[in-house]
């Protein structure tokens, strides 16, 4: 029961919900999340830490970069998957969240073109 309460408490923050929504798409680095959400890097990192504490998000190092994704190795099942689906569907109606998705798509296009550079924004 305690872990469920901690998970739900971690999801009470709008920024963390927006992060989860973006991480449902694919594994992302902090610079991509900063660009998509238009908030400072230290704030994104702090929110990601909280999501990692409750086991919803995992981090993977690739050279100097840290990539974050929804905890797939943990095998999120049942309630966790249902909760993530509800978050995804309901946040899709938010104009702010849709803008996050548009900015992220532009940023991911830069990554795929080999132009993912810290400090370089796409929009």
**Residue-wise pLDDT tens digits, 19-42:** 999 999 999 999 999 999 999 999
Cα–Cα distance measured from residue 11 to residue 60, given in angstroms and rounded to the nearest whole number: 22
Percent of the chain with pLDDT over 70: 88
pLDDT band at 116 (very low <50, low <70, confident <90, very high): low
Q: What is the pTM of this model?
A: 0.86
CB 17 within 8 A of CB 36: no
- Which residues 6+ apart lie within 8 Å of 31 measured at CB? 41, 116, 117, 118, 119
Instruction: Say which CATH architecture domain 2-112 belongs to.
Output: Orthogonal Bundle (1.10)
């Amino acid at each position: 029961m305690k872990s469920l309460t901690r998970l739900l408490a971690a999801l009470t923050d709008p920024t963390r919900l927006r992060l989860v929504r973006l991480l449902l798409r694919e594994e992302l680095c902090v610079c991509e999340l900063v660009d998509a959400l238009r908030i400072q890097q230290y704030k994104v990192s702090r929110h990601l830490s909280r999501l990692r504490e409750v086991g919803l998000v995992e981090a993977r190092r690739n050279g100097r970069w840290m990539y974050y994704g929804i905890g797939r190795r943990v095998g999120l099942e049942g309630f966790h998957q249902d909760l993530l689906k509800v978050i995804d569907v309901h946040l899709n109606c938010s104009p702010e969240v849709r803008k996050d998705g548009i900015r992220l798509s532009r940023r991911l296009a830069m990554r795929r073109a080999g132009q993912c550079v810290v400090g370089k924004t796409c929009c």
